Amino acid sequence: MACWFFPINDSLFRLDDAIQAGNGEVDIRSSEAFSAGDIIYVYKARPEDILKYKMEVIQVGVPQDEVTDRPEFWADLGTYYDGLLSSRYCRLHLVQKLENGDLTGEKLRAYGLHNLISVDVMPPDVLSFIQNPTLDDAFGVDYPEENDFYEGALMTVEVNKYERSRAARDECIEKKGCRCVVCEMNFEEKYGPEGKGFIHVHHLVPISSIGKDYKLDVERDLVPVCPNCHYMLHRKPGGVYTPEELKEMIRK
**What pLDDT score does 158 carry?**
35
Burial class (CB within 10 angstroms; exposed 0-12, middle 13-18, buried 19+) of 92: buried
Band (154; pLDDT cuts 50, 70, 90): very low
pLDDT in tens, 37-56: 999 999 998 778 999 999 99
Mean pLDDT computed over 234-247: 85
Per DSSP, the three-state class of 68 is coil
Fold of 3-130: ph1033 like fold (3.10.590)
Band (214; pLDDT cuts 50, 70, 90): low
Mean pLDDT computed over 20-30: 93
Query: In Å, how far from its chain's centre is CA 185?
Result: 21
Q: How far apart are CA 192 and CA 198, in angstroms?
A: 11
pLDDT in tens, 192-213: 988 888 888 888 876 655 555 6
**What pLDDT score does 85 carry?**
82
Residue 246 has, within 13 A of its CA and on its CB side, a CA count of: 21
Residue 76 predicted with pLDDT over 80: yes
Q: Contact, 39 vs 55, CB < 8 A?
A: yes
pTM: 0.54
| Every domain of the chain and the residues it spans | 3-130, 134-251
Mean pLDDT computed over 174-191: 94
Strands 89-97 and 222-225: unpaired
Spatial CA neighbour of 151 closest among 87, 199, 217: 217
Query: In Å, how far from its chain's centre is CA 72?
Result: 32
**What pLDDT score does 215 carry?**
73
